Amino acid sequence: MDEEKRAGAPEKTQFETISTRVSVVCGAGNLLLAAFKFASGAIGHSDAMISDAVHSTSDILGSVIVVAGVKVSARPSDRSHPYGHERLECVAGLILGGILATIGLLIGWGAVEKIWSGAYRNMPQPGGIALFAAALSIAVKESMFWYTWLWARRIDSTALKAEAWHHRSDALSSVGALIGIAGARMGAPAMEPAASLVICLFIVKAAADIFKDATDKVVDHACDEATERALRECVAAQAGVRRIDLLNTREFGNRVYVDIEIGVDGLCSLAAAHAVAERVHDAVEANFPQVKHVMVHVNPL
């Protein structure tokens, strides 16, 4: 006998609403910040700040991708997708990870090229407005990171986590720009490409983490050990459960599927065994809201 749980519409609507609100707020902030960076870079004669503005512009694209990914993943199950569309949210995370990795590698390549060719020697000294823009960008983007990350953790959104790291990468890029601009103003122009090279490593590392998180949820990766241990304890505590023969979990986007086999008294009636399965199902449903589907199979002992 099997017991199943499927997510209801209210929870999904809240997930979509929160994700969209966070992305829209950060998208508007990125638009204003990117415009200010472009203006500061042009007025202050700073190539580093203009490059940083390009990075901020990519965050706007990231916000659009997240909103689109969350809206598509929030669609209810249909005939073609009976298990839902949650994995499309992971696809949005993979796309953002790709954008992040590309930006990081381009920044690194540009830094290596400037160091190798000695082009940094001919760079004009940047103005103070570029230095101010870099400092402001660090503060704003770090605030965006924590704002997005806290909401991403609360609703367990892969795409929002990817967007949060995108904000952090932009903050790190601005740190590199700040160091480079300050160094150039102090007579050491080589500091700018050297700092950019270090920032490249941080950005690529963040992209790798995003890819791993999204890929795990696409390929039916099991839940962490703590969650599975808590599930076992919950099931074993239910009246009538004599043993747990099998407990498998798999992540499906930001949701979890659980398959359980329990051993019950082989001499009890079908109705009694069904009641035990229902208790297990209801307990998992009540204690683990991230679980979308629960399958309980009963084995006689």
49: pLDDT confidence band, cut at 50, 70 and 90? Answer: confident
Phi, psi (deg, nearest 5) at residue 258: -130, 130
Whether the CB-CB separation of 218 and 140 falls below 8 Å is answered with no
Question: What count of other Cβ atoms lies within 10 Å of the Cβ of residue 288?
Answer: 18
Res 245: pLDDT: 94
13: pLDDT confidence band, cut at 50, 70 and 90? Answer: low
Res 10: pLDDT: 41
pLDDT in tens, 253-289: 667 889 999 999 989 999 999 999 999 999 998 898 8
Instruction: Tell me the pTM.
Output: 0.60
Residue 98 has pLDDT above 70, yes or no: yes
Phi, psi (deg, nearest 5) at residue 76: -70, 165
Res 237: pLDDT: 93
> Which value, to the nearest 10 degrees, does the dihedral of the CA atoms of residues 200, 201, 204, 209 take?
-150
Return the DSSP state at 239: T
Return the DSSP state at 125: P
Between 48 and 35, residue with greater pLDDT: 35
pLDDT in tens, 68-95: 776 776 677 777 766 666 667 777 778 8
Token pair recorded at residue 184: 């150039």
Q: What is the mean pLDDT of the segment spanning 199-209? A: 79
Res 240: pLDDT: 92
Distances (CA, A) of 17 to 13, 28, 84, 250: 6, 17, 18, 25
